[in-house]
Structure 1
Amino acid sequence: MITKATQEDVSQLNTLINSAYRGESSKKGWTTEANILEGLRTTEDELSTTILNPKNSILKFTENNQIIGCVLLVEKDQELYLGMLTVSPELQNSGIGKKLLQQAEIQAKELKLPKIVMTVISVRDELIAWYKRNGYEDTGSRQPFPASDVHIPITEEPLEFVVLKKNIL
Structure 2
Amino acid sequence: MKSLPLTTARLDDVPGLVQLVNRSYRGDSSRLGWTTEADLIDGTRIDETSLQMLINNPDGRLFVGWIDDEICCCVYLETQPTALYLGMLTVDPRMQGQGVGKQLLATADQYAREQGCSVITMTVVAQRPELIAWYERHGFQPTEETLPFPGGTRFGVPRQPLTLVVLRKAV
Scaled to the shorter chain, the TM-score interval is over 0.9
Structure 1 runs, 4 residues or longer, greater than 3 Å off: none
Counterpart of 1:153 in structure 2 is: 158
State which of 67, 77, 101 in structure 1 corresponds to 2:71: 67
Following superposition of structure 1 onto structure 2, how do residues 45-84 of structure 1 map, counting pairs within 5 Å?
Answer: 45-84=49-88
Letter in 2 for 1:70: C
Secondary structure of 1:104's match?
helix
Structure 1 Cα separation of the partners of residues 29 and 133 of structure 2: 23
Give yes or no for the alignment of 1:167 onto 2:170: yes
Give yes or no for the alignment of 1:39 onto 2:43: yes
Give the structure-1-normalised TM-score. 0.96
Unpaired stretches in structure 2, ≥5 consecutive residues:
none
**What per-residue deviation string (whole Å, max 9, x for no partner) do you get for residues 58-78 of structure 1?**
101111121100011111002
Counterpart of 1:143 in structure 2 is: 147
Structure 1 Cα separation of the partners of residues 57 and 44 of structure 2: 22
Give yes or no for the alignment of 1:7 onto 2:20: no
**What per-residue deviation string (whole Å, max 9, x for no partner) do you get for residues 36-67 of structure 1?**
00111000111111101111111011111211
Structure 1 Cα separation of the partners of residues 104 and 8 of structure 2: 11
Letter in 2 for 1:25: S
Structure 1 Cα separation of the partners of residues 99 and 7 of structure 2: 17
Structure 2 Cα separation of the partners of residues 19 and 55 of structure 1: 27
Letter in 2 for 1:167: A
Report the RMSD for the aligned CA atoms in angstroms: 0.8
User: In the TM superposition, what is the alpha-carbon distance from 1:149 to its structure 2 partner?
Assistant: 2.0
Matched-pair identity in %: 43
Structure 1 Cα separation of the partners of residues 119 and 103 of structure 2: 17
Counterpart of 1:115 in structure 2 is: 119
Secondary structure of 1:33's match?
coil
**What per-residue deviation string (whole Å, max 9, x for no partner) do you get for residues 78-117 of structure 1?**
2000011000011110100110000011000000111000
User: In the TM superposition, what is the alpha-carbon distance from 1:154 to its structure 2 partner?
Assistant: 1.2
Letter in 2 for 1:43: D
Counterpart of 1:101 in structure 2 is: 105
The number of aligned residues is 166
